[in-house]
Amino acid sequence: MNNISGKTVIITGASSGIGQATALLLAQKGANVVIAARRKDRLEQVESQIKAKNGQALVVQTDVTKRAEADRLIQKAMDQFKRVDVLVNNAGIMSIAPMKLVHVEEWERMIDINVKGLLYCVAAALPIFNQQESGHFINISSVAGLRVSTGGAVYAGTKFAVRAISDGIRREVGSHIRTTVIYPGAIQSELLNGTSDPLSHERLEKSRQIAVSPDCIARSIAFAIEQPAEVDVNEIVIRPTAQEN
């Protein structure tokens, strides 16, 4: 047994990038994966890939900015699999732009998805984890949650918040519930699509030529899950070898 097989793992933002890679890897290792995001067609493609290899997957179309949808996601997982072992809070967007452009709507979107969306999912799962006396939050921050770069003030703010919330959860609920924060560096994905400022987009594209496969983040998530229940891997920083910051 690999301590992943048979576990129910909910993954938000599973329609592309890190979430998709994580769903595929954990399903291959025998987890029941509950895959959530807004794009149902993309989730169904991931589900087909999993089922083609005899894996277990449940699609729940979810916008994490809507609290009722976050509640429904956790409830659907309970209905289908009778327990929830891991919640991977991965859904997120990145809109990079200098503060002077005052892209207030983009600031709001980032806060709504990256912070409030994560909190809604935590709020839905925590009572179940408490009742089960077991559970595991895996929250995806970023190296931008450790260090602010130009144009990334608000994005970094949301990712610093993920770190603070995760550490707070760990301190308060630690005795049976595990909390892991992952800080990825540049990873190949669709994340750049969230940046509308052309100059920032161009700069990001250049700096991300060293980006590595999302599979490495999926493997780090699997590593955290497969530890024995009494071992809590709290923080993992992973960046391309060639990435300086």
Cβ atoms of residues 240 and 211 within 8 Å? yes
Q: Residue 14 CB, nearest distance to ligand NDP (Å)?
A: 6
Given the rule CB under 6 A, which residues bind ligand NDP?
12-19, 37-39, 42, 62-65, 90-94, 113, 117, 140, 142, 184, 186-187, 189-191, 214
Q: Which residue in 81, 120, 155, 183 is the catalytic one?
A: 155
Rank residues 151 and 184 by Cβ distance to ligand NDP and give the closer one.
184
Chain-centroid distance of CA 132 in Å reads: 22
Annotation says 120 is catalytic: no
Cβ atoms of residues 175 and 129 within 8 Å? no
Rank residues 8 and 189 by Cβ distance to ligand NDP and give the closer one.
189
Place of tokens 């997982």: 77
Q: Residue 236 CB, nearest distance to ligand NDP (Å)?
A: 12
Place of tokens 């497969």: 226
Q: Residue 126 CB, nearest distance to ligand NDP (Å)?
A: 19
CA distance 239 to 187: 8
Cβ atoms of residues 191 and 93 within 8 Å? yes
Helices (H), the chain: 17-28, 40-52, 67-81, 104-110, 118-132, 153-173, 198-207, 215-226
Rank residues 3 and 188 by Cβ distance to ligand NDP and give the closer one.
188
Q: Residue 158 CB, nearest distance to ligand NDP (Å)?
A: 8
Cβ atoms of residues 136 and 178 within 8 Å? yes
Rank residues 19 and 135 by Cβ distance to ligand NDP and give the closer one.
19
Q: Which residues are catalytic?
A: 155
